[in-house]
Amino acid sequence: YDFGSGAGFYVNATQQPWAPHYRMYDYVVKELPQLVENELPLNGERSVSGHSMGGHGALIAALKNPGY
């Protein structure tokens, strides 16, 4: 897919036609953790990990959400 200049897999789209539905940052930081917590017996402690582009996304999410 070509999402345009500056697009990435760990951002919320800001331009049409992608903005209403391409909200990857919100999915990874908000929706996905809640889905995992609802399905698995977790203790509330969190860590972040990733490799290559996933590591970049994990680091950015952690830096934008200290204490989360």
pLDDT 10s digits, 9-68: 788 888 888 888 888 899 989 999 899 989 999 887 878 788 988 888 889 888 998 887
Cβ contacts of residue 63 below 8 Å, gap of 6+? none
Q: Provide the residue type at 12 as one letter.
A: N
Residue of 59, 54, 30, 21 lying closest to 13 (CA atoms): 21
- What pTM value is reported for the model? 0.73
What's the pLDDT at 22? 87
Residue of 1, 23, 3 lying closest to 11 (CA atoms): 23
The domain ranges of the chain are 1-68
> How far from chain centre, in Å, is Cα 37?
16
What's the pLDDT at 35? 94
